[in-house]
């Protein structure tokens, strides 16, 4: 019986810690959120384009060598 009680206390303690950590979160304001979202989107698109170009060049090189 004591094992079950200890497990329940451990779970309660874990949830208390989780709640305390959530209170420490500082959520960004709308302007910051939009700014960071745009930055991540632009970087993702640029990186995707770079990867596509490199992939096309490598594919062209392989096709040239195989023929």
**Domain range summary for the chain, segments of one domain joined by +:** 2-66
Distance between CA atoms of 3 and 11, rounded to whole angstroms?
12
Q: What is the pLDDT of residue 4?
A: 67
Higher pLDDT, 4 or 64: 64
How do residues 19-52 score in pLDDT, each as one tens digit?
999 999 999 999 999 999 999 999 999 999 999 9
Is 0.75 topped by the overall pTM? no
């Amino acid at each position: 019986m004591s094992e079950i009680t200890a497990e329940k206390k451990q779970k309660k303690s874990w949830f208390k810690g989780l709640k305390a950590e959530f209170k420490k979160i500082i959520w960004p304001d709308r302007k910051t959120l939009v700014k960071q979202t745009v930055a991540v989107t632009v970087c993702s698109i640029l990186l995707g384009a770079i990867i596509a170009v490199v992939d096309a060049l490598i594919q062209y090189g392989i096709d040239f060598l195989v023929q």
